Amino acid sequence: MRSLKQSQRGGAMNTQNYLESLFGMTGQVAVVIGGAGALGGSLATGIGKAGAKIVVADVGEDACKTRVAQLAGEGIDAAWVTVDVMSIESLRKALAVALKPTGRVDMLINCAGINVGNSFLEVDSEQWDKILAVNLKGTMLACQVFIESMLHTGGGAILNIGSVTSDKPLSRVFAYAASKAGVVNLTQNIAQEFATKNIRANAICPGFFPAEQNRKLLDEERVANIMRGTPMRRYGNPDELIGAALLLLSKNAGSYMTGSIVYVDGGFTCSWF
């Protein structure tokens, strides 16, 4: 007769094996563009802890090295490459680095993004062009480069980062909101185009996760408005994006999900404010 402790151990092992079969990413390669940043870094950590080898791709060499050191400190197999998302040549070089370990890239996570806050009449064309170039064109070019590779290696999963501003107006971030609305539309079009090619494309739309790019926008009045419109009455923690990312990227748990837009926003998009 098995003891209670033996049964508990067996149950724990069965649970672990089951969760691994759903969400495990051992042997897979994930490229996280913008992986040196706060949200990208958190996603890189979560995906890495699920077993994937991580390639951190970002614009700054020092930031990439710092992130890879952090990942290595947590036992995650990681490499880095600098990338300019507005350059298709740079993205192809990043792809070449990512292909070295296994000859394929299983996951692409697009987290690169910039933001500037001002009134509508203060938005100038240079600012508008730069934000849309990084946030939308950069996502599009990265998807082009990596999908082309995935078509030759049996498929893969793409995760893009939208925003609650993708479909809900928010003052002082006009170019950013327009770019993120474009990212959502782009994601769904990619999902439709490649659904029969074993390539899935989904997006997470985060709520308010303070980071360097948006912290300067958070004056006292804006914080009060955000909290009033967020039913959970708090900011998000970057780690709170990981669960949604694992689901959308997983070959098994998320196998029938493509074109899905998942909001992780503390209830902001369901608020009547």
Catalytic residues: 176
Cα–Cα distance measured from residue 97 to residue 57, given in angstroms and rounded to the nearest whole number: 10
The CA R_g of the chain, rounded to the nearest whole Å, is 19
Cα–Cα distance measured from residue 99 to residue 164, given in angstroms and rounded to the nearest whole number: 33
Contact between 100 and 73 under an 8 Å Cβ cutoff? The reply is no
> Shortest CA distance to 35 belongs to which of 1, 3, 78?
78
Q: Which residues neighbour 80 within 8 Å (Cβ) at sequence distance 6 or greater? A: 35, 55, 56, 57, 58, 61, 64, 65, 67, 68
The alpha-helical segments, DSSP class H, found in 75-173 are 88-99, 125-132, 138-153
> Shortest CA distance to 201 belongs to which of 253, 261, 133, 130?
261
Kindly report the length of the chain.
Answer: 273
Three-state DSSP at 31 gives strand
Cα–Cα distance measured from residue 67 to residue 72, given in angstroms and rounded to the nearest whole number: 9
Element (H, E) at 8: helix 4-23
